[in-house]
Structure 1
Amino acid sequence: MPPANGYSHAVAFTGATVAVSGQLPLDADGKVVGEGDAEAQTRQVFQNLERALAAAGAGFADVVKLSIYLTDLADLPAFRRVRDEFIDVQLPPASSAVQVAGLVIPGCRIEVDALAVLR
């Protein structure tokens, strides 16, 4: 396999699975956070993921797969900086990142969904 930059090519797991739907950079009132600011939007997305995981009895240490949707691949470095505040960079989850033409709510630059396993 080619070298991986901040993700694992494959992750094996057993246990109950928690699927977290794509999270957008929305605050508790449903308003877009940080329009035009990829880092602020990524931080809000990861805070939303953190809350959703906790509600299911999981945390980022349980995440085995992230799917990242970006409207601009130039935001990838900002995404990685923030992601690395939340995940164990020594044992990162498998990940996919794709550029999309747009997201369901205008002004959102990023959406992330997660798959976690309770071990």
Structure 2
Amino acid sequence: MSTFTLDNPAGVPSSPFKAFSNVAVIPLGERTLLMLAGQVAWGDDHQIVGGDDMRAQSRRVMELIGKVLEAHGATFADVVNLRTFLTDISRIREYGEIRAEYFKDAAPPTSTTVEVSRLFLPEALIEVEATAII
């Protein structure tokens, strides 16, 4: 019997390839661990939102993370770790400006940011995974 559940909350595009779930929900006694899959800036039609605009893509990614968190009773204040993949590390400040908006009322989580040669969708500039504890 599994001690966790996998979920694709309403309002968050799931994989068009059925290759992953958006979140693993893992009970830890009085707390719950949420492990979010990497989010890219896609809309409901699975097309990348924002074109070559890092800020627009970053905002969409954070919106999607927020929706997954909210569906499980969490907020950005519950996020303990972010893993960010950028296709161009020289644009980290653009991402950072948007990220800061979502953590303005919370201590910044631990994080790792790396540059990658590409993401699974060629138009995607950024992908972010998150871990939260509620």
TM-score if structure 2 supplies the norm length? 0.75
* 1:31, distance to aligned residue in structure 2 (A): 1.2
Bigger mean CA offset, 83-92 vs 16-25: 83-92
Q: Secondary structure at the match of 1:85?
A: helix
For 2:103, the equivalent position in structure 1 comes to: 87
For 2:133, the equivalent position in structure 1 comes to: 117
* 1:20, distance to aligned residue in structure 2 (A): 0.7
For 2:31, the equivalent position in structure 1 comes to: 15
- Structure 1 stretches of 4+ with a deviation exceeding 6 A read none
Contact 1:61/1:88 (CA < 8 Å) preserved in 2? no
1:38 aligns with 2:32: no
* 1:15, distance to aligned residue in structure 2 (A): 2.5
**Deviations, residues 33-82 of structure 1 (Å, cap 9, x unaligned):** 11111000000000010011111221101000000000000110011100
Identical aligned residues as a percent: 35
**Aligned-residue RMSD, C-alpha:** 1.4
| Cα distance change on mapping 1:79 and 1:63 into 2, 3 Å | same
Q: Secondary structure at the match of 2:128?
A: strand
Contact 2:77/2:105 (CA < 8 Å) preserved in 1? no
Structure 2: segments with no counterpart, 5+ residues: 1-29
1:65 aligns with 2:84: no
Matches of 1:101 and 1:24 in 2, distance apart? 15
Count of aligned pairs between the two proteins? 105
For 2:44, the equivalent position in structure 1 comes to: 28
Matches of 2:53 and 2:107 in 1, distance apart? 28
* 1:102, distance to aligned residue in structure 2 (A): 0.4
Bigger-Rg structure (1/2): 2
Contact 1:69/1:98 (CA < 8 Å) preserved in 2? yes
